[in-house]
Structure 1
Amino acid sequence: MSVSASRHGGQILVDQLELLGVRRVFSVPGESFLAALDGLHDAKIDNIVCRQEGGAAMMAEAYGKMTGQPGVAFVTRGPGATNASAGVHVAMQDSTPMVLFVGQIRAEDRDREAFQEVDYRAMFGAIAKWVTEVDHTDRLPEYIARAFNVATSGRPGPVVLALPEDMLSAQADVADGRGPIVELAPRLNGVARDTLDWLSHFERPLVVVGGPHWTAEAAQDLSAFAERQGLPVTLGFRRQDYLDNRHPSYAGDLNVGVNPKLAQRMRDADALLVIGSRLGDIETQGYSLIDPKDPNCAIAHVHADPNEHGRVYHPDIAITANAVAFTRALADLPACDTDWSDWTRAARADYDSWKTPYETPGDVKLEQVIAWLSENLPADAILTNGAGNYAAFLHRYFVYKQHGTQLAPTSGSMGYGIPAAISASLHHSDRTVVCLAGDGCFQMTCNELSTAAQHGATPIVVVVNNGRYGTIRMHQEKHYPGRVSGTMLANPDFAALARAYGGHGETVTKTEDFAAAFARAQDSGTLAVIELQVSEDALSTTLTLSGLASS
């Protein structure tokens, strides 16, 4: 353990971040953490200066998804923290490791309702794994080490540390903490063998994979396990890159616009092997496919956090294990004697039929645009999105080929796609990064295009413009037909907006023009926006008729 001379709290904090391997943070500056900004001045840490705290938090969350290490964001007190809460909520529901540092009023002014004072334990208590306030400068190494451990252990998630400005500016002579904790996974061969033996007694099993911790190696192990055992595999909401979608065992994903045949297969299954996923609201279509009170099937649940077992569904077998380690053990097992080939082939056939494009009205057909992207983008291209009916097209028609190519919020947060794409472009500067966004979704965080321009990020943003909040409009038409209220949008010229930020911008009004526009966006070497002007009915009426949107 190293020992340092007297340093102010901001320097102590930054030194701990470097020790823990942090190489990039996302921030919106505030006077409440000036000492931390001073500490970052000479650090070997990139400080990505964002335009709004929600964008900064979402960029940090996306970083956590990509790396498995906590994404780090700095925001100021009061309004800054409330803005950042959107990204904290994403990290919590998506089980993403993240640490948010919030500047705070002076400790000596606490409980006076001082300028921008907020009780952060109360504010973030329900949407973070741990929230606390650091009162003593010499305890910063202790708190930061614990924050990183909590953020990554068990079910990962966000941690919030409030930093009173007088604590940060105060001097302390304190030793640095230690580096990251090295965790050794237990041997799970026997547990995996027993689980497969249990599964072999069922005729119609499904493997459901999702949740955090996934890696490229885990995707390969899952592929080997599924192929050797001949089992159908379905992936959790917005975890579509956990298995190559071309794999013969891949049966589709459990998203808000789930394939009706896959939903029925979930109902018909007599056993579920759930690896990593919480088997949550979206995966079960509002807990209707599997009734928590009376499940129609046996369940073996593998999750890193023992508190998830029995939280909603009472499993027949509960296994506390990291999904990656457990899948590694499954991949080593020989083939069992049970033949599930007919069941698996039928599941795959249902998926192949589902991803065949269903034609929508208008001159720009989004299903064909997504199919073109799927066929022409490099296998390692990263796709990001927020929320809206446009995203259902991406989930249905894009074929993910490898892990680390999907960044999307399982929390369903609008505005996520652009910050995630910027974070991805900075982290993987050699890869193509494409953001899909609706016109409403885009305008929630489009100001972060300025961040992209400043720091050299080059995402290509495809804006699907139908002049409305399409998802809400669709539900209005279903529940209150003919009574449109609060869902229309007056939009800018999105291509011109991109050019105003120093990027490349184009507008596409015909499907056949998209490929050339995309090529020009790639050749521009800068951030780019391609606006797709789609029919008003393309994302609402047709979605309902096709079964693409949730009911």
Structure 2
Amino acid sequence: MTMSAGHLIVQTLEAHGVQRIYAVPGESYLDVLDGLHDSKIHTVVTRHEGGAGFMALAEGRLSTVPGIAMVTRGPGAANAMIAIHTAWQDATAMVLFVGLIPLADRGRDSFQEFSLEGWFSTTAKGVYVLDDEHQAGDVVARALRLASTGRPGPVVVGLPEDVLIRLTDSPVPDLLPLPDAAPSAAGLEKLSTMLGAARRPAIIVGGDGWDAATAQELADFAAAAHVPVLADWRAYDAIDHDSPAYAGWLGYGRAERTVAALNDADLLVFVGCTRSDVLSEGYKAALNTPTILVSNDAELVGHAGRIDAHLGVRPAELVAALPAGESLRGTRGPEWMARLRTEQLAFTMPGADGGTGVDLGLAFEALEAALDADRIITYGAGNATLWGHRYLSHHGPKSLVGPRNGAMGLSVPAAVAASIMHPGRHVVAICGDGDFFMNAQELAVSFAHGGTPLIIVADNGIFGTIVDHQRRHYPQRPSGTSMENPNFAQWIESFGGHGEFVETTADFAPALERALASGLPAVLHLLTDPTTMGPGTVAHRAEANA
């Protein structure tokens, strides 16, 4: 069947299970847009390329196929760069399609010309440029597979506009299967032997490669084997927080005792993640502890410190091969796991922060109680998110989207995408005032596509994380960290959404109830005390102990 290269790209995406693409349209890829006209793929038109990229990242995090974003030439690609960097550092599968200038115009500094390889080659798994219309389907299939295999990540595909309109008889390529694997007998024996002999082992889970069955089976194994489970930064939906094995997360805002547990452990088993920068307290914690890595990333990107064994498989493949947990207890009793679990429950018990405005410690207690168990929580970056990390629970994988690389502006577009993907589920974005307005425009997309996210904006009028550092390193010298904000509730109401400006703790729970019942995209704008930093920060602890 003869068709244009642009239409073949769309049909290949369909055949590979893509349900949505997030796009800012451009004249450079009009033929792809034309192919989408008659496609069953849902085209979500966003307001900014950074928003499109973050929505695609959320899709990749919350589904089983890479998220897809489409943008145009130089300025569009530049705006999308933040999502590619985030997907790379977060190890999340996505594919960015970039419309390019015609082949004949290359090398002449033509309108919006840039080097796709030069811009993206150091922060993407692969960069392809479609120079041959007959390869259109194969390039797309290869990009989708590369994004998903090994350590997941972003792939960038350039689409010269003149190549897209050329005709081809090439068929839609078959779905390329992911490699099948199982842990080697030797690797599994070493894991079993070391785990059986350890007195204070810990399993550390992370990454995106989790499904509900795998997460539950690993949690059950850990509980039976008397092994506590810690989670990587912003990857703690890999285990049900009600599991008796769950002992908290590592990284920013964590409890001090989780780092102590990491250092006290006599065996660490990383499943789906590595001993990376944030998890290891800046490459300082537990670098020489006996370590088993379960990761299908042959290069172990980002890992620091000791390796005793590397099982090159995904979490599901490990779990399928594990023996019964009871068989690997050795002489280990439940005391180590039980103590860490008890400490985790105490750490997540809400309490008053004090100060003026809305007390977030008490507000998040009400939020936790009001949300359904299958809630999806999205985060931006900044101290405002730490209350959510501490006080909001997760009960299965693919329920958390947050930038592990600390990129601001992700919370709103991620929540919009999640709400479009999962209508009827509670989807809540947790963000500060600085993070919110970086991509707040994407809430407009919710109205066009039926999304109903709830956005919680903690407004303290400052860039809180930076102020926290500034107060410690440059005390009494605030500089470049304050903001003046409009009324965000009135702003969302101007779209036709639900908005409330909340100034006191007592007003939060009723406002939350109204927002959840509204059936509309909603913003709760919370006025908070700028002197109260997030729970777990040095400033917060110092004030709490004063």
SS at match of 1:431: coil
Provide the rounded CA distance (Å) in 2 between the counterparts of 1:141 and 1:78: 24
Would the aligned equivalents of 1:262 and 1:350 in 2 still touch at CA under 8 Å?
no
Deviation at 1:539, TM superposition (A): 2.5
Structure 1: tracts of 5 or more residues without a match: none
Alignment of 1:419 with 2:413, yes or no, is yes
Would the aligned equivalents of 2:9 and 2:140 in 1 still touch at CA under 8 Å?
yes
Would the aligned equivalents of 1:131 and 1:159 in 2 still touch at CA under 8 Å?
yes
Deviation at 1:103, TM superposition (A): 0.4
Give the direction of change, closer, same or farther, for the CA distance of 1:528–1:548 in structure 2 (3 Å limit): farther
Would the aligned equivalents of 1:309 and 1:315 in 2 still touch at CA under 8 Å?
no
Would the aligned equivalents of 1:387 and 1:415 in 2 still touch at CA under 8 Å?
yes
Matched with 2:104 is: 108
Q: Which of 309, 317, 338 is the equivalent residue of 1:345?
A: 338
Provide the rounded CA distance (Å) in 2 between the counterparts of 1:19 and 1:257: 42
Question: What is the 5 A alignment of 1:187-206?
Answer: 191-206=187-202
Provide the rounded CA distance (Å) in 1 between the counterparts of 2:349 and 2:514: 28
Question: What is the 5 A alignment of 1:43-442?
Answer: 43-181=39-177, 183-186=179-182, 191-291=187-287, 295=288, 297-308=289-300, 311-330=303-322, 332-336=324-328, 337-360=330-353, 361-442=355-436
Provide the rounded CA distance (Å) in 1 between the counterparts of 2:182 and 2:226: 27
Deviation at 1:469, TM superposition (A): 0.7
Provide the rounded CA distance (Å) in 2 between the counterparts of 1:151 and 1:432: 29
Give the direction of change, closer, same or farther, for the CA distance of 1:92–1:478 in structure 2 (3 Å limit): same
Give the direction of change, closer, same or farther, for the CA distance of 1:342–1:333 in structure 2 (3 Å limit): closer
Give the direction of change, closer, same or farther, for the CA distance of 1:343–1:220 in structure 2 (3 Å limit): same
Deviates more, 1:88-97 or 1:189-198: 189-198
Give the direction of change, closer, same or farther, for the CA distance of 1:240–1:465 in structure 2 (3 Å limit): same
Deviates more, 1:189-198 or 1:166-175: 189-198
Give the direction of change, closer, same or farther, for the CA distance of 1:340–1:273 in structure 2 (3 Å limit): farther
Provide the rounded CA distance (Å) in 1 between the counterparts of 2:535 and 2:153: 37
Matched with 2:473 is: 479
SS at match of 2:274: coil
Give the direction of change, closer, same or farther, for the CA distance of 1:331–1:401 in structure 2 (3 Å limit): farther
AA matched with 2:366? W
Give the direction of change, closer, same or farther, for the CA distance of 1:99–1:310 in structure 2 (3 Å limit): closer
CA-to-aligned-CA distance 1:144-181 (integer Å, 9 cap, x gap): 11101101111111100011111112222222211242
Provide the rounded CA distance (Å) in 2 between the counterparts of 1:18 and 1:512: 49
Deviation at 1:188, TM superposition (A): 5.9
Deviation at 1:363, TM superposition (A): 3.4
Matched with 2:515 is: 521
Instruction: Give the alignment's TM-score, normalised by structure 2.
Output: 0.96
Provide the rounded CA distance (Å) in 2 between the counterparts of 1:319 and 1:179: 26
Provide the rounded CA distance (Å) in 2 between the counterparts of 1:328 and 1:84: 38
SS at match of 2:199: coil
Deviation at 1:349, TM superposition (A): 2.0
Deviation at 1:221, TM superposition (A): 0.9
Would the aligned equivalents of 1:222 and 1:331 in 2 still touch at CA under 8 Å?
no
AA matched with 2:20? R
Provide the rounded CA distance (Å) in 1 between the counterparts of 2:316 and 2:535: 41
SS at match of 1:247: coil
CA-to-aligned-CA distance 1:330-372 (integer Å, 9 cap, x gap): 2645432231411111211221221123432223111111122
SS at match of 2:526: strand
SS at match of 2:299: helix
Give the direction of change, closer, same or farther, for the CA distance of 1:203–1:332 in structure 2 (3 Å limit): closer
Would the aligned equivalents of 2:184 and 2:311 in 1 still touch at CA under 8 Å?
no
Would the aligned equivalents of 1:474 and 1:541 in 2 still touch at CA under 8 Å?
no
SS at match of 2:437: helix
Provide the rounded CA distance (Å) in 2 between the counterparts of 1:186 and 1:265: 30
SS at match of 1:141: helix
CA-to-aligned-CA distance 1:182-221 (integer Å, 9 cap, x gap): 5434366774354122122222211111122111111111
Provide the rounded CA distance (Å) in 2 between the counterparts of 1:64 and 1:309: 20
Structure 2: tracts of 5 or more residues without a match: none
Deviation at 1:329, TM superposition (A): 2.3
AA matched with 1:487? T
SS at match of 1:78: helix
Provide the rounded CA distance (Å) in 2 between the counterparts of 1:369 and 1:331: 43
Would the aligned equivalents of 2:49 and 2:71 in 1 still touch at CA under 8 Å?
yes
SS at match of 1:449: helix
Provide the rounded CA distance (Å) in 2 between the counterparts of 1:473 and 1:187: 47
Deviation at 1:325, TM superposition (A): 1.4
AA matched with 2:42? D
SS at match of 1:356: coil
Instruction: Give the alignment's TM-score, normalised by structure 1.
Output: 0.95
AA matched with 2:520? T
CA-to-aligned-CA distance 1:129-153 (integer Å, 9 cap, x gap): 0012110111111111110110111
Give the direction of change, closer, same or farther, for the CA distance of 1:389–1:100 in structure 2 (3 Å limit): same
Matched with 2:23 is: 27
Would the aligned equivalents of 2:46 and 2:445 in 1 still touch at CA under 8 Å?
yes
Q: Which of 12, 15, 27 is the equivalent residue of 1:16?
A: 12
Provide the rounded CA distance (Å) in 2 between the counterparts of 1:252 and 1:397: 11
Would the aligned equivalents of 1:228 and 1:334 in 2 still touch at CA under 8 Å?
yes
Give the direction of change, closer, same or farther, for the CA distance of 1:46–1:252 in structure 2 (3 Å limit): same
SS at match of 1:306: coil
SS at match of 2:384: helix
Count how many residue pairs are aligned between Structure 1 and Structure 2. Answer: 541
AA matched with 1:408? G
SS at match of 1:335: helix
Percent of aligned pairs with the same residue?
37
Provide the rounded CA distance (Å) in 1 between the counterparts of 2:433 and 2:302: 40
Give the direction of change, closer, same or farther, for the CA distance of 1:71–1:182 in structure 2 (3 Å limit): same
AA matched with 2:215? A
Alignment of 1:470 with 2:464, yes or no, is yes
Deviation at 1:270, TM superposition (A): 1.5
AA matched with 1:251? A
SS at match of 2:431: strand
Deviation at 1:87, TM superposition (A): 0.9
SS at match of 2:191: helix
SS at match of 2:158: strand
Q: Which of 504, 528, 534 is the equivalent residue of 2:528?
A: 534
Provide the rounded CA distance (Å) in 2 between the counterparts of 1:474 and 1:182: 44
Deviation at 1:521, TM superposition (A): 0.9
Would the aligned equivalents of 1:473 and 1:540 in 2 still touch at CA under 8 Å?
no
Matched with 1:488 is: 482
Provide the rounded CA distance (Å) in 2 between the counterparts of 1:196 and 1:107: 57
Deviation at 1:430, TM superposition (A): 1.8
Deviation at 1:396, TM superposition (A): 1.3
Provide the rounded CA distance (Å) in 1 between the counterparts of 2:55 and 2:200: 41
